[in-house]
Amino acid sequence: MKKAFNVLLIFLLAFTVFAGGQQDAGQAEVEAAEESTEGPQSGGVLVFGRGGDSVGLDPARETDGESFYATTQIFDNLVEFKNGTTEIQPALAKSWDISDDNLTFTFHLVEDATFHDGTPFNAEAVVFSLGRQLWEDHPYYDLGPWKYWGYMDMSNIVEDIVAVDEYTVRIDLQKVEAPFLANLAMDFAAMVSPTAVEKYGEDFKSNPVGTGPFKFVSWQKDSNIVLEKNENYWRRPAYLDRLILQVIPDPTARYLALQKGEIDVLDFPSPEDIEDMKADPDIKVIQQPGLNVGYLAMNTQKEPFDDKRVRQAFNYAINKDEIIEAVFGSAGTPAKNPLPPTMWSYNDSIEPYPYDPAKAKELLAEAGYPDGFETDLWAMPVARPYFPDGRKVAEIMQAQLKEIGVEAEIVSYDWGTYLDRTDSGEHETALLGWTGDNGDPDNFLFVLLSAAAAEVPAGNIAFWKDEEFNELIIEAKETFDRERRTELYMEAQEVFHEEAPWVPVAHSIVSEPMQPNVMNFKLSPVGKRVFYSVWLDQ
């Protein structure tokens, strides 16, 4: 066996995150960062104003960022991303060993963590938390579907999960998986209280119990979620006494609430308001390029989108510059690939489809639709970083498609229903997007476009199953040679471009306005909102 620290260079070659060594080193790094701030103060209530509600609070069941905003505070994982980065550091696993063949991971757990219900965190809790998603005969497997577990193909990666002793867990893999440690830092791999799951059953999604820095207090649907400091946290307690996740659907109303001091942090501001916010001395704005992509998926299992020429026609018909100017302003850039340009292995040599309605009409005629056709166009009901206003994007697309003879009816539902119905493939075309979860291209290309992810409930809502593409991304998953992985992913993007299951629309710059007294808030490249180390200057 090899210590994780000793295989660090292997993982750095494989992907942009890295495996930490001992807990003491990782925790010292966290504490050093905190000591560099100007006197963290404990106390106070922070109100986070967001555009939509969580779908559920069981992190293994949900796939949406609004749900993870809450669960990130309540639950811990074996490993985690260092705040504001995609670097892996120890969490509930203080260290780990990896076998020479990279197929066995042995995790050594912290011994002083307890769940919010007072029950101990131990190896059996790890087996329970991950095993309920892996084993179909697990007594709580039916509380799924475990969508993310499926999107990440974990049942074809994990062979077994074994409690070696009270504070040691072994995970055996069926095959080499380069992003495996990074996968374990994602929300679906959070540790849940077995006692609470047994107590609440299906209702655990509304009564979450983890080991995290904040404890669940209440959830008023479509209004707010209230969390309070976990005084018995196995690390130092959070600085904030309370955290309130407040739903304010309209971005203008969120802006007004920030100006009036009713909220402390504003999620997803309207792009047209950002410059005014930056000019306001009473508002602090944090920005960074988002690891995201917004797209229009075409359901390739339904006519006429089973014809590549129709999908290519849509790519020629959509004027992305018009959409970005109207919806994103200076906070967006056109997309041509399924990966964001800040991701390693991004293929910048690919030429984007130009806006060319005449070419689009020509392709439709070749496909047998000289007069166009009727279809649906599903629009997201909530603001997300990749689409600040899904309805407005849909309306612009609707007008652009009409120019080539395509009559698109805009369809929308509440957020949870929208996700469930697109996961089930009810749409013909649908707007959606993605913020990377672990800093690895696999988290885009496999999760959103593989054949495995096209099974209901699907992450691949284009339901695209391309043999050549799949062979490329699967080979890339199973090698630690980053140069080779880059070659494979760049080739896969060429296949994607030719087959055109999506219209990639935009990548956004993420902006987070807040009150000036909100200290140590860091934007996460994987879209998390982490409040553990945030404090209020009193």
pTM of the model: 0.78
Query: In the beta sheet, which residues pair with residue 145?
Result: none
Domain segments of the chain as ranges? 2-6+9-235+515-536, 292-510
Residue 171 φ/ψ, nearest 5 degrees = -115, 120
| Residue of 222, 120, 156 lying closest to 455 (CA atoms) | 156
CB 145 within 8 A of CB 457: yes
CA–CA dist 513, 278 (Å, integer):
8
Q: CATH classification of 2-6+9-235+515-536, choosing from 3.40.50.11260, 3.40.50.150, 3.30.2010.10, 3.40.190.10?
A: 3.40.190.10
The answer to whether the bond into 457 is cis (omega within 30° of 0) is: yes
Per-residue pLDDT of the chain (538 residues; tens, 9 = 90+): 443 433 333 333 333 333 333 333 333 333 333 444 468 999 999 999 999 999 999 999 998 999 999 999 999 999 999 988 888 999 999 999 999 999 999 999 999 999 999 999 999 999 999 999 999 999 999 999 999 999 888 999 999 999 999 999 999 999 999 899 999 999 999 999 999 999 999 999 999 999 999 999 999 999 999 999 999 999 999 999 999 999 999 999 999 999 999 999 999 999 889 999 999 999 999 998 889 999 999 999 999 999 999 999 999 999 999 999 999 988 899 999 999 998 999 999 999 999 999 999 999 999 999 999 999 999 999 988 899 999 999 999 999 999 999 999 999 999 999 999 999 999 999 999 999 888 899 999 999 999 999 999 999 999 999 999 999 999 999 998 999 999 999 999 999 999 999 999 999 999 999 999 999 999 988 889 999 999 999 8
Q: Please list, residue by residue across 38-68, b when 16 or more beta carbons sit within 10 angstroms of its beta carbon and e when fewer do.
A: eebeeebebbbbbbbbbbbbbbbbbbbbbbb
Q: What is the CATH number of domain 292-510?
A: 3.10.105.10
CA–CA dist 194, 210 (Å, integer):
10
* DSSP helix/strand/coil, 358: helix
Identify the sign of the CA torsion 321, 324, 326, 330: negative
CA–CA dist 378, 394 (Å, integer):
8
Which residue is it, tokens 């701030």? 37
Q: For the chain, what is the radius of gyration of the CA atoms?
A: 23
CA–CA dist 430, 297 (Å, integer):
5
CA atoms within 13 A on the CB side of 157: 23
- List the end-to-end C-alpha distance of the chain, in Å, as a whole number: 50
Quick one: tokens of 159? 């062979």
CA–CA dist 247, 48 (Å, integer):
8
| Residue of 526, 497, 411 lying closest to 80 (CA atoms) | 526
CB 317 within 8 A of CB 402: no
Res 271: pLDDT: 87
Res 155: pLDDT: 96
